[in-house]
Amino acid sequence: MKQMLRATKTSLYRLVSEHETLPIMKRTRFIKHRRSFWLRWHDDDADYEAFFSVCAGSPMLAIKRRKFDSDDPSTRYVTRYTTDYLRSLGMIEEIPKPSISQAVQANN
């Protein structure tokens, strides 16, 4: 079976909240492109961006902070997850491979 990441605004918000203090959910922005997901928000002194995707076959969450009015460079840290942990959160979608007969029927 093929496994793919699956995230909604709520599930990504919960995952990111394990690492960062977040504003209420309606003050965050959720973006999805193919199988990559972003959650963006800001507070009084910084912009934040959480990026959730697969890199080198391993699910990862990268969180970047860019401070306003500061000479400090932005900070970024990456956390890798096991598929078992993400499956327990409902963030892994298992897609069965079609049988040969199903593939032939789909092409006709």
Helix (H) or strand (E) holding 107: helix 100-107
The mean predicted confidence, pLDDT, of the chain is 89
7: its two tokens: 């995230």
| Token couple for 76 | 């970024």
- Domain parsing of the chain, residue ranges: 2-107
pLDDT confidence of residue 105: 66
User: What distance in Å separates the CA atoms of residue 8 and residue 26, rounded to the nearest whole number?
Assistant: 13
User: What pTM does this model have?
Assistant: 0.83
Tens-digit pLDDT profile for residues 9-33: 999 999 999 999 999 999 999 999 9
More confident residue, 71 or 108: 71
Per-residue pLDDT, averaged over 45-62, amounts to 93
Region 87-91 average pLDDT = 94
Q: Per-residue pLDDT for 74 more than 90?
A: no
Q: Which of 36, 37, 33 is nearest to 13 (CA)?
A: 37
